[in-house]
Amino acid sequence: MKSIHGKSILVIDDDAAMLRALGKVLSSEGAVVATASWVGELMERLAEKQGSVDLIITDIRMPVMDGRSILGAVKAALPEVPVIVITAFATPEARTECEAAGAADFLEKPLDTPQLLAAIERALSRGAPHPGRPGRRLWGLRKAKALTQANETDLFPGSELAGKVGSPP
């Protein structure tokens, strides 16, 4: 997949295993991946990148600030950055709400890797900035100090979830 190569993708999910799995899949396709497990890390990652992010993937169900709030904040501050929403708890209402708020796509966990990559391809092709117009920068963001660290758990290759990225708890 050529359009993902070299693109800056920020993944937000409170599940450490999901972050690692998505990071591994996206990195293997040539993307530059940053991850955040909560809103403080999100602000830190955006500050590090000064707003030059090509795509954001966020889970809906997270503590402190959920994916719907993140979607709204990103679309207000960076309307040209596509946001893909993922969830293990999909409802028609959630899908409609996220699409109305500007989500580029709405995917249900467990994610199938080709499905995820196709959604990213669509989002990046629709949300591509105009040539010669640099990405919008977020001024005034400061690095937030992480208050907690997510516990890491290992993914087991060859398990029944091979070929899937994440699964509902």
pLDDT of residue 122: 95
Residue 112 belongs to a domain: yes
| Residue-range definition of the domain harbouring residue 98 | 12-127
Residue 34 belongs to a domain: yes
CA distance 84 to 160: 26
- Specify the CATH number for the domain of residue 121: 3.40.50.2300
Residue 67 belongs to a domain: yes
Query: Which of the pair, 165 or 69, is modelled with greater confidence?
Result: 69
* Count of residues making up the chain: 169
Residue 2 belongs to a domain: no
Whether the CB-CB separation of 54 and 34 falls below 8 Å is answered with no
Residue 89 belongs to a domain: yes
Residue 7 belongs to a domain: no
Check pLDDT > 70 for residue 68. Answer: yes
pLDDT digits (tens, 9 = 90+) for 38-58: 777 777 777 776 658 899 999
Return the minimum-mean-pLDDT range out of 38-47, 97-106, 150-159.
150-159
Count the domains in the chain. Answer: 1
Whether the CB-CB separation of 167 and 59 falls below 8 Å is answered with no
pLDDT of residue 2: 61
Return the minimum-mean-pLDDT range out of 43-52, 61-70, 83-92, 140-149.
140-149
DSSP string computed for 70-93: HHHHHHHH-TTS-EEEEESS--HH
CA distance 137 to 135: 6
